[in-house]
Structure 1
Amino acid sequence: MSESDQAAPPVADFLQLAGKTFLVLGVANRKSVAYSIAQMIEQAGGTVVYVVRSESRRESTGKLLKGRDVRVCDVEFQEQIDSLANQFEQEGLQFAGMVHSIAFADYPEGIRPFHETTKQQFLQAVDISAFSLVNLSNALRDRFTTDASVVTIGISTTRMASESYGYMAPIKAALESSLAFLTKSFSRFSQVRFNAVAAGLLKTSASAGIPGYVDSYLYAEQVIPRGEAVKTDEVAATAAFLLSPRSSGITAQSIVVDAGMAINYFDAAVVSAVTNSQFGS
């Protein structure tokens, strides 16, 4: 056995997350993408510091996150981000990675035509869903290890004008675009990487609250070649890989995890079903 073989980590520790600490934002319940990612980190021997948006959320996730380190920070408020960063600095915490699984959109009157989106709705959604990644990364930049990995959760396409997603696709596009600029600016003093998992339609509690989403999810299952929608664990596994040193050559990228939905919009059976329904057989 060569010296290099002896130095190689065992296959069981392929992700090399053991002994490292990660910050995970966005756990709301057991169905959350952030929760699945955190579980994979812990199963691989890593430690997770959780951040939820309110004291009530910390209480509601009390049983789910029992025994874990759970902090509170509503990213809409600068003082709370600053306070979180100060806490970590005082405790000397260093993070090998951060998971940003945060999104918010206000639909008080349901989904309306995109051109009727109000300035307040749009800017609030940009602030919470996209700018928060920039803001958190800046506030925590001294808390990241030199080669830390930051992963956010995007969507499989920001160019599909789906009514059921309202005005969030342009905001997710802003989130995706920021990855390149964060990677570039952080490269001045570190090797921190920024990537996204661009997920297809998922069955989560948050998505279920979007008007019309369930119908889109059911349609996706018909279009996806395997006939089954993307699972939360499939998105989480990709995120865990991006958090790991195994993905060290990947940065400023959005990795699409949609089970092939994008290649199959014109599936013959689906097209036939629509045309027969519309025009008669």
Structure 2
Amino acid sequence: MNTLINLQGKRGLVVGIANRQSIAWACAQALREGGAELGVTWLNDKARPHVEPLAQELGASLCLPLDVEDDAQLAAVFEAIAQQWGQLDFLLHSIAFAPKDDLHGRVVDCSREGFARAMDVSCHSLLRMARLAEPLMVNGGSIITMSYLGAEEVIPQYGMMGPVKAALEAATRYLAVELGARGIRVNAISPGPLSTRAASGIAHFDQLLQDANQRAPLHRPVGIADVGPLCAFLASDAGQAITGGTLYVDGGLHLLN
């Protein structure tokens, strides 16, 4: 157990585990090591065989399907939390999506439909989850999402996800203000380039990763294991005075752009 971060007695939902390379997986491990009880979700039947064994490793109390484009599934997840736990202490939102044709093209050329879907899955889903989580966070809580430097700087090949992540960070700030009176903190974590399945959809990602490793002040690769402890800290009472921020885990790369 992680003795530096105490999550004993806390229960939280982790959304976004796809495999062992997922940021959400590293975060879930850190949360569990801190003593938290977890619920996890899988995207669809294709993902389920990869996620269920990981949920078992975590000793997850809840393991449910969740495609955030399906309102019924989203409602069912939070209803299950209400029925089994009666409350929620933290929520990790670690999902993003953009249609490949729109992602690989110029931002100015992206389709209306593609942009709307990317915004819905990657940003508005956070608002929907927060709305459902709010009444369950009876003792306050922590909501955490994942962003990227492309939200505030133009990153070559990141394309339309830049504006989408910018909206996500803005949503984080607004949620922090609106939910703060209930003791609910909302923060975004912005890791450097990470070798995940989601990142593989970005054109020339290997070059982006190499450049980041060379330019970042710490001159070392950043991995998913670097993100997990920060997530656990933000979920814990140790982070109870931190809200509305974007916290970087990128070896200092954001200082140079």
TM over 0.5: yes
1:54 aligned counterpart, secondary structure = coil
Shift of 1:157: 4.4
Give CA deviations for 1:199-220 in whole Å, capped at 9, x if unaligned.
1111112112222212111111
1:255 aligned counterpart, secondary structure = strand
The answer to whether the 8 A contact 1:111-1:163 is kept is no
Identity %: 28
Which residue of the partner structure matches residue 255 of structure 2? 263
| Counterparts in 2 of 1:109 and 1:143: CA distance versus 1, 3 Å | closer
Give CA deviations for 1:125-166 in whole Å, capped at 9, x if unaligned.
000000000001102222224221111011134232223111
Which residue of the partner structure matches residue 47 of structure 1? 37
Unaligned runs of 5+ in 2: none
Distance in 1, matches of 2:255 and 2:177, equals 31
Distance in 2, matches of 1:110 and 1:78, equals 25
**Structure 2 counterparts to residues 28-67 of structure 1, below 5 A:** 28-66=18-56, 67=59
Quick check: 1:136 aligned with 2:134? no
2:157 aligned counterpart, secondary structure = helix
**Structure 2 counterparts to residues 222-233 of structure 1, below 5 A:** 222-233=214-225
Distance in 1, matches of 2:14 and 2:210, equals 29
Which residue of the partner structure matches residue 212 of structure 1? 204
Shift of 1:91: 2.6
Give CA deviations for 1:51-102 in whole Å, capped at 9, x if unaligned.
1222331222233322533111111122221222222223343221010001
What is the aligned counterpart of 1:250 among 242, 245, 254? 242
The answer to whether the 8 A contact 2:185-2:242 is kept is yes
Which residue of the partner structure matches residue 88 of structure 1? 81
The answer to whether the 8 A contact 1:85-1:139 is kept is yes
Distance in 2, matches of 1:110 and 1:34, equals 22
Distance in 2, matches of 1:41 and 1:152, equals 14
Which residue of the partner structure matches residue 8 of structure 1? none
What is the aligned counterpart of 1:19 among 9, 19, 25? 9
* Stretches (4+) displaced over 6 A: none
Distance in 2, matches of 1:109 and 1:15, equals 41
Distance in 1, matches of 2:203 and 2:191, equals 19
Structure whose alpha-carbon radius of gyration is higher: 1
Which residue of the partner structure matches residue 279 of structure 1? none
What is the aligned counterpart of 1:151 among 144, 148, 173? 144
Unaligned runs of 5+ in 1: 1-10, 266-281
What TM-score do you get using the length of structure 2 for normalisation? 0.92
